[in-house]
Amino acid sequence: MKQDLSDKRKDYSRNFIDFSNLPENPLDMFNDWYDFATHSDQIAEPYAMSLATIGEDGFPRGRIVLLREVNHDGFIFYTNYDSQKGKSILGNQKVCLSFFWDKLEQQVIIKGLAEKIEARKSDDYFHKRPVESQIGALVSLQSSVIAMDADLGEEVKNLSREYAGKEVPRPENWGGYLVKPVEIEFWQGRPSRLHDRLRFSLNEGNWRKERLAP
């Protein structure tokens, strides 16, 4: 089936990047943009981001994950370490995160190196999650092939009874990754496709700022 999308477009005009007043650290700029997106009632999940990894077959693979913390070191998300993304990161630490806040006409692209966070921090976050989500992490062998008629709901019920009134243990193969950025690009939609683009690149511990052509 063919779909012609060549006439689908919109013009952008909501905002601009002030190139005369830029922070030295891109994480400061990210926090400003993220805070604005968070307080906008137009963005349902500002913390949703695309995570791209490189698999053993050499192909990139993207999926949506949830940002759970930003700090001076980088960006943290949580997942099953035995999932496809976990195995990909084990083989190649280089990843790319992307945020697109459509109503704000903004995009942020982050290239970085992913590494596991300390177990204690993963424990703390795991036990902040709803109990149902904790049980789900025990049940799901993420990315493994399962039967079409597998009843995961029944497994959840059984484990819920088993751990009723008890602390659910965090699986050893579940935890967080910290993505340490080496490059962050900010994109702001502008009229006539003359978009504002700003790239921060890490160079010997210092951030270099460059404006890019649309």
Annotated catalytic residue: which of 14, 61, 120, 193?
Answer: 193
More confident of the two residues 160 and 116: 116
pTM for the model stands at 0.91
**Residue 145 pLDDT > 70:** no
Q: Which of 46-50, 57-61, 72-76, 166-170 has the lowest mean pLDDT?
A: 166-170
Contact, 13 vs 192, CB < 8 A? Answer: no
- Is 66 marked within a binding site? yes
Burial 98-134 (b: 16+ CB within 10 A, else e): bbebeebbbbbbbbbbbeebeeebbeebbeeeeeeeb
The domains of the chain are located at 26-79+89-119+175-212
Q: Which pLDDT does position 150 carry in this prediction?
A: 60
C-alpha span between 126 and 173 (Å, rounded):
12
C-alpha span between 180 and 94 (Å, rounded):
10
More confident of the two residues 42 and 106: 106
Catalytic (active site) residue 193: yes
**Residue 156 pLDDT > 80:** no
- Is 35 marked within a binding site? no
Contact, 177 vs 76, CB < 8 A? Answer: yes
For residue range 51-100, list pLDDT tens digits in order: 999 999 999 999 999 999 999 999 999 999 999 999 999 999 999 999 99
CATH topology of domain 26-79+89-119+175-212: Pnp Oxidase; Chain A (2.30.110)
